[in-house]
Structure 1
């Protein structure tokens, strides 16, 4: 297995993994959006260089050309631009009554891990840990010394993984309708 920066050709395999996260967030704006429309929007989004290597960075865990996991994030300073891209791509997608928006999830000086997902068939094999272990180099390349993420309070398994990887809870917030812990790791 290889951890590498995502390429536009990975988008169709990234979309269902990231789609799982959006569905778990139970965002009202997605309530009437079909899975097909959500996947189409995410495929378009993850074909954009801005979302892969420019404003944000997307890493994939790949084995035999199959994407088994994805880590998507960005410097906190790019949060507004990343969310403007999400808003624009979702607004242009059929099936969306309103654009998808995120924001207010980062703190200054952090490289923020927005999404970490592993294919259900590949879970429990250390892929999430390997993706997390690749992130300090990404943050350092962006001139940052802290990684951050938000973990759903209803997902203690993920919180345990992040603690094992050296993340510490530093605050709380609500995203969508769920309470989250804001976690940080110095790199």
Structure 2
């Protein structure tokens, strides 16, 4: 994601913010879902998402995390709405470089349907950078369809959805 704050926050402080946010019960168990793919006892990849009505609570957790490090009070990671109504939103997905090309991302994407249905959602949404056609091609191959274009922190993304 092209978030302006990420260019201003030193890596050590960003690591602390991430550790705090994912260390909270809210982010891990209440409002969000983290899926982890492991290969040979190593983290091969992860996916994180939530139902659209949880976006504000997710952002609150991140704001609390930012407040735990020495940054200007008004430092905001997320300033725009990312989700569309009535969807389970794939916020983040990443595959470790050593496991890329082994189907980890595809397996994670296929496992999202169960999470969405548990949240009473029949649609999974995501934002893909217009500058990342390979990711968009992967999502399209799995069945995601472009349903709009959105701007997040001044950067353009295609919003894609998969009906389940």
Q: Decide: shared fold, TM above 0.5.
A: yes
- How far off its partner does 1:102 sit? 4.5
Supply the RMSD in Å over aligned alpha carbons: 1.4
Give 1:7's aligned residue.
Answer: none
The answer to whether residue 123 in structure 2 is matched with residue 146 in structure 1 is: yes
Task: Provide structure 1 residue ranges, at least 5 long, that are not aligned to the other structure.
Answer: 1-21
Distance 1:149 1:114, change over 3 A: same
Contact 2:80 2:153 in 1 (8 A): no
Task: Provide structure 2 residue ranges, at least 5 long, that are not aligned to the other structure.
Answer: none
Give the one of 27, 49, 54 matched to 1:73.
Answer: 49
- Looking at structure 1, the residues matched to 41 and 28 of structure 2 have their Cα atoms a distance apart, in angstroms, of 17
Give 1:163's aligned residue.
Answer: 140
SS at match of 1:117: strand
Contact 2:47 2:93 in 1 (8 A): yes
The answer to whether residue 104 in structure 2 is matched with residue 127 in structure 1 is: yes
SS at match of 1:180: strand
After TM superposition, the structure 1 = structure 2 runs for residues 1-187 of structure 1, keeping only pairs within 5 Å, are 22=1, 25=2, 27-94=3-70, 96-97=71-72, 98-187=75-164
- How far off its partner does 1:152 sit? 0.2
Q: Deviation digits for residues 107-140 of structure 1, max 9, x if unmatched?
A: 1110000101111221111110000000000000
The count of aligned residue pairs is 162
Is the deviation greater in 142-151 or in 34-43? 34-43
- Looking at structure 2, the residues matched to 153 and 52 of structure 1 have their Cα atoms a distance apart, in angstroms, of 29
Distance 1:108 1:138, change over 3 A: same
Contact 2:149 2:156 in 1 (8 A): yes
Q: Give the alignment's TM-score, normalised by structure 2.
A: 0.93
